[in-house]
């Protein structure tokens, strides 16, 4: 097609073209800015596919790093809002058992200000007492974190942060001691915390859930083995988008050391499942 001369008698339409282009460019700029703002606010990323991510408030990341081998942490590791994803041997994102974690924490270690992207393999392993502070899982792999300490005095603390897209468990509680999850958000999950139902070595496990916001779809907030004396204490729980109340605050099981655990009742009994109706708000 031959280009028109600037003096071809279409001066009016020629004058409007730059204006139209400028307006279109402005609209596009606003759309891009809005999308960037949305990413900062909700954790979504352009082209992201994880449904749970859209329901999780994740801080804007400050950098990206791929891990091809487990990073072992002693002392304090501050990720400064870096997003870590698995690669190579850590590129799994499914429910296959026995995957290695992105981070392994020694007894007493602290992991903070970290975003785990996808794939996240088996997330974080705590070998003893540990603290996870403002750690976010955008799309949980096998599990978000597994707690493995053998001492009844072990203390695991998850403070702040959030997780989304857990097909099964967010936190796998295999060891002994007490796990506290507070000021945490979870969305699109199977179980928030589950005591191991069939570990070869079983322990009494205590869990405390404080100020947790759970967005449906979801299964159980706490899954405990009543026969091993597990306890779950819940307070300040807010459940969103679950009008039929399908999310179970506390589910009791009969744990085993082989075979399949048996599901029991889900009542608040003041012994194993400890909470009052006022501790759970459905919105």
pTM of the model: 0.81
Span 203-235, pLDDT tens digits:
999 999 999 999 999 999 999 999 999 999 999
Span 27-68, pLDDT tens digits:
334 333 333 333 333 333 322 334 444 478 899 999 999 999
CB hemisphere CA count around 111 (13 angstroms): 30
Span 260-283, pLDDT tens digits:
999 999 999 999 999 999 999 999
Span 150-174, pLDDT tens digits:
999 999 999 999 999 999 999 999 9
Beta strands in the chain (DSSP E): 63-67, 71-73, 76-86, 103-105, 109-116, 124-126, 130-137, 145-147, 155-159, 162-173, 177-195, 205-215, 220-225, 231-235, 237-240, 248-254, 262-263, 273-274, 280-282
CB 180 within 8 A of CB 156: yes
Span 101-150, pLDDT tens digits:
999 999 999 999 999 999 999 999 999 999 999 999 999 988 999 999 99
Distance CA 179, CA 131 (A): 10
Tell me what the pLDDT averaged over the chain comes to: 84
**Closest by Cα among 114, 161, 113 to 101:** 114
Q: How far is CA 196 from CA 100, 144, 188, 227, 253, in A?
A: 18, 15, 21, 12, 10
Q: How far is CA 155 from the centre of its chain?
A: 20
């Amino acid at each position: 097609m031959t280009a028109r001369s600037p003096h071809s008698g279409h001066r009016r339409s020629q004058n409007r073209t730059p204006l139209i282009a400028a307006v279109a460019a402005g609209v596009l700029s606003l759309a891009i800015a809005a999308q960037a703002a949305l990413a900062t606010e909700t954790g979504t990323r352009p082209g992201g596919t994880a449904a749970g991510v859209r329901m999780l408030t994740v801080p804007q990341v400050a950098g990206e790093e791929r891990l091809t081998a487990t990073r072992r942490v002693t002392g304090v590791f501050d990720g400064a809002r870096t997003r870590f994803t698995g690669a190579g041997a850590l590129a799994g994102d499914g429910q296959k058992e026995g995957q290695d974690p992105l981070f392994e924490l020694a007894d007493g270690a602290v992991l903070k200000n970290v975003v785990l992207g996808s794939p996240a393999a088996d997330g974080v392993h705590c070998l003893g007492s540990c603290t996870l502070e403002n750690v976010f899982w955008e799309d949980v792999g096998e599990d978000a974190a597994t707690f493995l300490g053998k001492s009844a005095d072990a203390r695991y603390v998850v403070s702040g942060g959030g997780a989304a897209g857990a097909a099964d468990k967010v936190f796998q509680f295999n060891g002994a001691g007490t796990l506290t999850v507070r000021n945490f958000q979870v969305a699109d999950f199977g179980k928030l915390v589950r005591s191991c139902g069939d570990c070869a070595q079983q322990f009494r496990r205590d869990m405390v859930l404080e100020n947790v916001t759970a967005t449906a779809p979801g299964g159980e907030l706490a899954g405990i083995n009543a026969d091993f004396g597990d306890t779950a204490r819940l307070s300040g729980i807010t459940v969103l988008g679950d009008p039929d109340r399908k999310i179970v605050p506390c589910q009791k099981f009969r744990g085993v050391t082989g075979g399949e655990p048996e599901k029991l009742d889900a009542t608040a009994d003041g012994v194993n499942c400890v909470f009052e109706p006022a501790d759970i708000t459905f919105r």
